């Protein structure tokens, strides 16, 4: 028998792989994901039936049952991702994707005469309004301009421009008088309001009211505190990594001289 020098015995893999144990978790199937269903159940070339389940569209049922159920789940389920971490440029690009004629070309949401935006597009518009990057939409009866956009009325950072925009929005809100009355009640009861803009009035971290003329100075003070914390952190990091200085030649001579004595 001819064999190759240096080779070991060869073992043919003919047996089937061992079955998975019952305790092993299998990867979740994506077939039940609403977005996966929308991506598979698309109209055919003539747009008269579904290309996957072959459901024939009609005026009473313009969607196949799987798509209708998937859209129902998407409309009733709470959003899992927050849009606050996305940049304004990215949000505008996503908003351009979530549009279309008759239905959203990104998520498949079917428009109605009263609803012209898909749920994701409405969330993006709300986030842009919160950042004052889009005109504030018409408010509903009994709700103020800050309804659902409370983060814009929270004092953060060290820039005064967003604070001025929030105060200007309060001045246009039809519920300003009601909000001012509620604010006075809370203040008279001894409640401390920190880092908030309520009824067009800004309250600092310590609960002191800051006039609009002092917004820039207050922003500068907040910036100084931030820079101070960063500089102290850098000094602590530098102190932890500092190494002992190298001894000079004179120090070494003195050391050996004292040892010889």
Does residue 89 fall inside a structural domain? Answer: yes
Q: What is the pLDDT of residue 202?
A: 94
Q: Which domain holds residue 220?
A: 148-237
Phi, psi of 103 (to 5 degrees): -155, 155
Does residue 10 fall inside a structural domain? Answer: no
Residues 172 and 127 reside in one and the same domain: no
Q: What is the pLDDT of residue 162?
A: 81
Q: What is the pLDDT of residue 24?
A: 40
Does residue 88 fall inside a structural domain? Answer: yes
Counting the structural domains of the chain, the total is 2
Q: What is the pLDDT of residue 33?
A: 80
Does residue 222 fall inside a structural domain? Answer: yes
Structural domain ending residue among the three candidates 136, 170, 204: 136
For the chain, residues with pLDDT lower than 70 are 1-31, 75, 77-81, 132-143, 148-152, 225-261
pTM: 0.44
Burial class (CB in 10 A: 0-12, 13-18, 19+), 100: middle
Torsion 234-236-237-238 (CA) sign: positive
Residues 154 and 122 reside in one and the same domain: no
Q: What is the pLDDT of residue 16?
A: 46
Does residue 187 fall inside a structural domain? Answer: yes
């Amino acid at each position: 028998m001819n064999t190759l020098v240096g080779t070991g015995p060869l073992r043919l893999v003919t047996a089937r792989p061992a079955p998975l144990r019952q305790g092993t978790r299998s990867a979740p199937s994506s077939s039940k994901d609403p977005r996966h269903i929308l991506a598979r159940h698309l109209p055919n070339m003539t747009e008269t039936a579904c290309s996957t389940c072959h459901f024939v569209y009609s005026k009473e049922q313009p969607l196949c049952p799987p798509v209708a159920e998937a859209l129902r789940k998407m409309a009733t389920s709470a959003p899992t991702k927050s849009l606050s971490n996305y940049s304004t440029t990215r949000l505008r690009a996503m908003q351009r994707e979530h549009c279309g004629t008759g239905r959203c070309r990104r998520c498949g949401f079917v428009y109605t005469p009263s609803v012209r935006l898909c749920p994701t597009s409405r969330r993006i518009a709300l986030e842009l309004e919160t950042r004052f990057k889009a005109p504030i939409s018409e408010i509903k009866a009994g709700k103020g301009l800050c309804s659902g956009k409370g983060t814009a009325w929270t004092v953060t950072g060290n820039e005064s421009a967003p604070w001025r925009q929030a105060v200007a929005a309060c001045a246009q809100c039809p519920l300003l008088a009601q909000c001012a009355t509620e604010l006075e009640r809370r203040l008279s009861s001894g409640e401390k309001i920190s880092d908030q803009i309520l009824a067009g009035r800004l309250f600092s971290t310590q609960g002191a009211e800051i006039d609009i003329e002092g917004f820039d100075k207050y922003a500068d003070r907040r910036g100084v505190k931030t820079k101070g914390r960063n500089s102290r952190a850098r000094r602590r990091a530098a102190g932890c990594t500092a190494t002992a200085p190298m001894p000079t030649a004179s120090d070494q001579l003195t050391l050996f001289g004292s040892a010889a004595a």
